[in-house]
Amino acid sequence: MEARIRARVTLALTLFALLFFVSRSSPPRQFVISDAKRRIDLSSHIINVHLTLKVENAGTRPASEVVLALTPTEVDHLAMVDALAIKGKRKKTTSVRLEVKPTELPDAPPIDAKYFTIYLANPLNSGESTTLEVLYVFTHFLEPFPEEIAQSESQLVFYHDTALILSPYHIKQQTTFIKTPSTKVESFIRVEPTNRVGTEIKYGPYEDRPPYSISPIHVHFENNSPFAVVEELVQEIEISHWGNIQVTEHYTVVHAGARHKGVFSRVDYQSRQFSNGASSFRHLLARLPPRVHSVYYRDEIGNISSSHLRTNSLKNGRRSIALCVLNARCIDYSIANVVSSFMIMHLHLNVAFAIIPVEASRSWKLSHVILYLEVVLPEGSTDPSPVVPFPVEHRLEAKYSSLDVVGRTVVVLEKKIFVPMHNSHFQSQTLELKILEIGFDENNHLRCLSFVDSLPDTIVPAKIFSLLMLSRQTHIKTIYQLCRMLFLHRWCLVERATFFNLVSFNLPPLWQVYYTFKPIFMLAEPLMLASAFFMFFVACVAYIHIDLSIRK
Amino acid sequence: MAAPETSTAAVPTLYTNNTLRNAFGGVLSFFILLLIGVLAFSIRLFSVIKYESVIHEFDPYFNYRVTQFLTKKGIYEFWNWFDDRTWYPLGRVIGGTVYPGLTLTAGTIWWLLNSLNIPLSVETVCVFTAPIFSAFASWATYLLTKEVKGAGAGLTAAVLLAMVPSYISRSVAGSYDNEAVAIFALIFTFYLYLKTLNTGSLFYATLNSLAYFYMVCSWGGYTFIINLIPMHVLLCIVTGRYSSRLYIAYAPLVVLGTLLAALVPVVGFNAVMTSEHFASFLVFIIIHVVAFVYYIKGILSPKMFKVAVTLVVTVGMAVCCAVIAVLIALVASSPTKGWSGRSLSLLDPTYASKYIPIIASVSEHQPPTWPSYFMDINVLAFLVPAGIIACFLPLSDASSFIVLYIATSVYFSGVMVRLMLVLAPAACITSGIALSEAFDVLTRSIKFQLPGVTSNAEVDAGETSSDTSEAQTDELKAEKPDDTSKNRPSKKSKKKERELAENPPAKATAKAKAKAEKKRLLALPLEASVISLLLLVVLGAFYVVHSVWAAAEAYSAPSIVLTTRSRDGLHVFDDFREAYAWLSHNTDVNDKVASWWDYGYQTTAMANRTVIVDNNTWNNTHIATVGTAMSSPERAAWEIFHSLDVKYVLVVFGGLIGYPSDDINKFLWMVRIGGGVFPHIKEPDYLRDGQYRIDSQATPTMLNCLMYKLSYYRFVETDGKAFDRVRRTEIGKKYFKLTHFEEVFTTHHWMVRIYKLKPLKNRIRGKAKKSKSKTSSTSSSKRSGTKKKNPWHENERRREVCYSNNCSDSFSAFLSSKPEIEFDYAGYVR
């Protein structure tokens, strides 16, 4: 509560400050935004803001750095920001991803705003214009109000924003669309012209607004989507060069929406599902890679009833395993602070060194407050270096398991505020690879796959060695790579048709860890086993030959 | 048996042949033992395979929690652990009231594995402790039986024990309870006792007292050892079998064992002060007197000896009388005459049901029925008499011990179902002896009569008597020679020599004669022996099938998870853990949860919340208070709970899915136990014409009590009729409201329902308003306030009185109840 008030006060102060300093501000005035469209999607607790900016260089010199401004509260909840440059017109548009970096403006007005700079691929000459698409993703931005609701009530939330886009540039024309999940809107502030049709509230168009102009609004509306938040996800990937990859995931799941108050009635909850506990999450879903085995799942005290392991066949006969987790757990209904740590383990993929399934699809959007990815490298591996598509913190740890002597290196990657879009926003990237060999096993599974090694590492950091290749000793390098291939079925769409052909497909973003590993260390495990048997044999022989009787 | 004869009489070539055979036998029996261990371990894994790797039932959860504490905080913290999560507001000194053997064992295993960099969780170690120790137990059985009747009988007994259903029921994976370890300790202690008795070695005597110490650490059942061994010693003395070996076997055990036992905090001075141990001290004195007499006898001439005897007897009688008088006075001064309630109920089976309803309420404290014998030891029940007969042919010190063991354990198992567990090893040993002897006789008679073997029959005759070849497991059907290991003949011969020195040679010749006679007698007709051999194999096969069935179907259910097979596969009822998880996530850490004591251990272990009573039923009054609250009307119950600072009340309700061991079925015990301390609760009030019912014929007291209301609150809304699937009837009172409690959680299948006590504040405000509007004096509300507390204060005094003479016995080991009826799936339709 207090935090909220403080946040509001800060926001208000910020806005006042902004208003106050509007006239004095002097950011790089080279650009003018001729048209700005903002679409805010409030249908879940992860807020997507699509900003389409038509940027015009009004200065004299060519410039390539477009600055975006955000309020500090927004920045606190910002999960990610991404920008695309749109080229071409109408149907023939192509988009190019642009680099976005947080910056400090040295000549910025002393107002409370944080800045991001978009680096255009080609400098914009004087008088030219280009279209930019910016995606912001915010989490934990909707405030439930009231904070506690009874079982039969639906969840109402507040959304705070400004009707005018905060920008260091002059905006000639701007419109904001706010999309609410349902038509039930308790209240919203009008800043004329404002129009509400169905689930959409339209602010604008507003003409010719100076830089840093704002106009605070709030929308109080019904949002019954479950606010599923993974407070902490620790995903441990243990690699064995004998062909096993063991993935263990520990989830701490919380409902971040309004808390439950008073009586919980099972009768009502089960018989009247729509009016009761509408915002509770009744189940979560985890998709596992197709070839997992030995799956287990449990919560802290071993509860499993809430979960089912389903094997459903997809289009092309490939089986994927869906794990429905936390079904019953969440009945404690929307709101109660349900914390549950959860482990999923899936094992074994025949493709030697693959797979980091960092969350990809749950039934709904799950946002992660913090995500730890622990890659446990086999004993004896050295020089680990992670390559991740977005900035993360990383550190090294050591782990001892199964009779280890020197310990295993663990690369811990830590990412704060992780949202599903982190997995998807790279998909527009198209890669072209030449497939050399493809093999199938009897279950129509992709068995081996190899690529021409000539692709530049910057584009395709992942080389997927097949077992076949491995046995031929052709591609064994000292560098083994991890690549992320959560949905292998996407690959199989192209397998047959494009045998020996150049194919293009979308590749999900790759989290990789490069490390050096001498294959000789692979012998450590069988040696240990062999020596254990040998010891046993020696013991047997000793037992037979040595007189163990207690005689003088 | 005849090995020494062959070793002396046989030609050198034969001798080398024999050593080779012995070595081969040794290796073979080693591998058989290994397989027995694997069998014992793996037959107990059904629970993990069918369910999951989970701690079972009630007591194991407490043990698990203690183990977690031990591994986290270390041993010193553990000894000093005062647990404020149970028995609120009294608490419990865990370190001083728990048998630490199991916990320390599992903790040590865990520590060892972790220091070897094998990271296993404490839970995994706890789950698999019981199967590991049952493998140990079967090896100990082999050793014990080998001391009695040779290796063949030992192997048979080990196989039988590896899969005896009675022991399986207490040692499946996940059943992390004292008994799992204690049975091993029991058998091993007996083995070491017999070993000492056979060898007279002080080394084994010391080991014996260490094993006894481990047993004392592990289980309250150690009193069985400390009474059985003195009985055997006394038997030996009375039957004139006193020897210096007997003295060495017994005296160090009493001295060292008692000292070591006193080191265990939960036993402490009980080791010398309670009457369970008096028998051992008495026999200790007697054996010294006897030893002294034998010594004197050796020194004096027979005439002088007679004089000395009369002298000593007169003086000794006087002294003994004085000592006994003092002892009796001491014993009589203690309230329960020095005997704990549990032990008294052993001696007098009706004691518990007469005086302690808590003991009587546990199903496993009831006397067993005949089917339960068949269920738990199966064909062994028929083999035991044969084994006892075999023990008498010839009767040795060791075999007389086995006879005594089986006799006493049969008696005790007749008193209490639980003690079937003590009977099981004895039954296995005797049956092992019986089977082995039978196979011995039958195979020998076949061997004698087979053509071609007769030529060297003479040579074999001496040897085969030790060659107790028998079909090991019945699947194997492998005949294999006895493993008279190398050191064995020499020891035997030593013993024989000693015996020869002691006994007049005439006796030895008589023995040899008898043996020869026996040999002649034992040659049965070929057909008969083949057929009876087959029959024995069939009998064994039946036993194996039954054991596997029992392990897979009857005893593997963890009772915390229930499953049923429906059309679309396995359906799991995990409501208990769902409820406990809810408690741990959604309530404050310091909230107190009241439930019937069965669920106390689980609540503290899984939900980590403070409970009022738990399965360690050390305080009768406290349990009676909860029982009273459950059987009181809502208002009175609210007051009792509020006075105990309870925030949540948890009830188990099986009416929706047909889970029979729910609180409504246990309710009469709550009434009885509550009424035992608080007389205003009367059992007849809850019964209509002596019948317990919850339908429309039920008494108003029943329909208004808290347990009924909490169980059936809004139950009618599920199907419109409120049909209880356990009691198979519609409930009596369908529509009612709760005024002092509110439903906060009900699990998916309604098995656990949690209610919250409505806070005091609101109620007072309402009252105050009312009184103001009435313009009556405020004293009325005040009076109501004091009135409200009064019934409890009255009880307070009574409670204090009762605290002083509560049955202070720690029932922790004894009070894990296994629902006798298995879960009824039929009622559940979905």
Three-state SS at B268 = coil
At A452, which amino acid appears?
V
* pLDDT computed for residue B649 by the predictor: 92
The whole-angstrom separation of Cα B422 and Cα B37 is 20
Residues of A in contact with B572 (CB under 8 A): 304-305
Of A267, A402, A543, the CB nearest to B30: A543
Q: Would you say B475 and B544 are in contact if contact means Cβ atoms under 8 Å apart?
A: yes
Inter-chain CB proximity B581 and A550 less than 8 Å = no
Of B573, B581, B746, the CB nearest to A266: B746
Q: A–B: how many Cβ contacts below 8 A?
A: 105
Q: Which residue does chain A place closest to B486, by CA atoms?
A: A547
* CB of B491 less than 8 A from some CB of A: yes
Inter-chain CB proximity A306 and B578 less than 8 Å = yes
| B86-95, B477-486, B522-531, B564-573: least confidently modelled range | B477-486
**End-to-end CA gap in chain B:** 66
Residues of B in contact with A301 (CB under 8 A): 577, 580-581, 584, 606
CA distances from B221 to B82, B95, B224, B266, B698 (A): 25, 19, 6, 13, 43
Q: Which residues, at least 6 apart from B18, have a Cβ–Cβ distance to it below 8 Å?
A: B6, B7, B10, B463
* pLDDT computed for residue A22 by the predictor: 42
Mean pLDDT score of chain B, rounded to an integer? 78
* CB of A198 less than 8 A from some CB of B: no
- Which of 724-743 (B) contact A at CB < 8 A? 742-743
Q: Which residue does chain A place closest to B604, by CA atoms?
A: A301
pLDDT over threshold 60, residue B128: yes
Question: A interface mutation test: which of B56, B577, B604, B719 has the most A CBs within 10 A?
Answer: B577
For B641, counting Cβ atoms within 10 Å of its Cβ (0-12 exposed, 13-18 middle, 19+ buried), the class is buried
Inter-chain CB proximity A299 and B581 less than 8 Å = yes
Residues of B in contact with A536 (CB under 8 A): none
Inter-chain CB proximity A401 and B23 less than 8 Å = no
pLDDT over threshold 70, residue B63: yes
Provide Rg for chain A, Cα atoms: 28
For A293, counting Cβ atoms within 10 Å of its Cβ (0-12 exposed, 13-18 middle, 19+ buried), the class is exposed
Inter-chain CB proximity B585 and A400 less than 8 Å = no
Of B23, B203, B585, the CB nearest to A337: B585
Pairing of strands A367-376, A408-418: antiparallel
* pLDDT computed for residue B350 by the predictor: 60
More confident residue, A275 or B294: B294
At B237, which amino acid appears?
I
Inter-chain CB proximity A263 and B744 less than 8 Å = yes
The whole-angstrom separation of Cα A333 and Cα A278 is 9
In angstroms, the separation between the Cα of residue A404 and the nearest Cα of chain B is 6
Residues of A in contact with B201 (CB under 8 A): 550
Q: ipTM beyond 0.90? A: no
In angstroms, the separation between the Cα of residue B183 and the nearest Cα of chain A is 26
pTM: 0.77
In angstroms, the separation between the Cα of residue B114 and the nearest Cα of chain A is 9
The whole-angstrom separation of Cα A419 and Cα A366 is 7
Q: What's the length of chain A? A: 552
The whole-angstrom separation of Cα B573 and Cα B747 is 10
* CB of B601 less than 8 A from some CB of A: no
Residues of A in contact with B659 (CB under 8 A): none
pLDDT over threshold 60, residue B592: yes
* CB of A263 less than 8 A from some CB of B: yes
Inter-chain CB proximity B491 and A549 less than 8 Å = yes
Q: Quick one: DSSP state of residue A46?
A: S
Inter-chain CB proximity A306 and B742 less than 8 Å = no
Q: Which residue does chain B place closest to A400, by CA atoms?
A: B117
Inter-chain CB proximity A305 and B572 less than 8 Å = yes
Digitized pLDDT (tens) for each residue of chain A, 552 residues in all: 555 556 555 555 555 554 444 444 444 567 888 888 999 988 888 888 988 888 888 877 888 888 888 888 888 888 888 888 877 666 666 667 778 888 877 666 666 788 888 888 788 888 888 888 888 888 888 888 887 887 778 888 888 888 888 888 888 888 999 988 888 888 888 887 888 888 888 987 888 888 888 888 889 988 887 777 777 777 777 777 665 667 777 777 777 777 777 777 777 777 777 677 677 766 666 655 555 666 666 666 765 555 566 554 332 222 333 333 332 233 222 222 222 223 332 222 222 232 333 343 444 456 666 777 777 877 777 777 776 667 778 888 888 877 777 888 888 888 787 776 665 544 333 333 434 334 433 333 333 344 433 333 333 323 333 322 222 222 222 222 222 232 232 222 222 222 223 333 334 455 667 777 777 777 777 888 899 899 989 988 887 777 666 554
* pLDDT computed for residue B496 by the predictor: 45
Q: Name the helix (H) or strand (E) containing B145.
A: helix B122-149
Give me B671's structure tokens.
Answer: 């009434």
Smallest CA-to-CA distance from A372 within A511, A257, A507 is with A511
Smallest CA-to-CA distance from A338 within A251, A262, A222 is with A251
Inter-chain CB proximity A544 and B23 less than 8 Å = yes
Residues of B in contact with A263 (CB under 8 A): 742-744
* CB of A552 less than 8 A from some CB of B: no
**End-to-end CA gap in chain A:** 82
* pLDDT computed for residue A333 by the predictor: 24
* pLDDT computed for residue B535 by the predictor: 92
* CB of A364 less than 8 A from some CB of B: no
Of A298, A302, A400, the CB nearest to B117: A400
Of A265, A302, A329, the CB nearest to B714: A265
* CB of B118 less than 8 A from some CB of A: yes
Q: Would you say A342 and A356 are in contact if contact means Cβ atoms under 8 Å apart?
A: no
* pLDDT computed for residue A64 by the predictor: 81
CA distances from B250 to A369, B199, B201, B226, B619 (A): 67, 13, 12, 10, 37
More confident residue, A265 or B190: B190
Residues of B in contact with A265 (CB under 8 A): 714, 743, 746
Work out the angle at residue A363's Cα, subtended by the Cα atoms of residues A359 and A365, and round it to the nearest 5 degrees. Answer: 65
The whole-angstrom separation of Cα A401 and Cα A528 is 13
Beta bridge partners of A81: A136
| A496-510, B414-428, B509-523: least confidently modelled range | A496-510
Inter-chain CB proximity B26 and A540 less than 8 Å = no
Inter-chain CB proximity A304 and B572 less than 8 Å = yes
- Which of 510-549 (A) contact B at CB < 8 A? 540, 543-544, 547-549
More confident residue, B186 or A313: B186
Helices marked H in A235-388 — which ranges?
266-271
Strands (E), A351-425: 367-376, 382-387, 393-399, 408-418
* CB of A300 less than 8 A from some CB of B: yes
Q: Which residues, at least 6 apart from A106, have a Cβ–Cβ distance to it below 8 Å?
A: none
Inter-chain CB proximity B572 and A336 less than 8 Å = no
Q: What is the pLDDT of residues B327-377, one digit of tens each?
A: 888 777 766 555 565 566 566 656 655 666 777 777 777 778 888 888 888
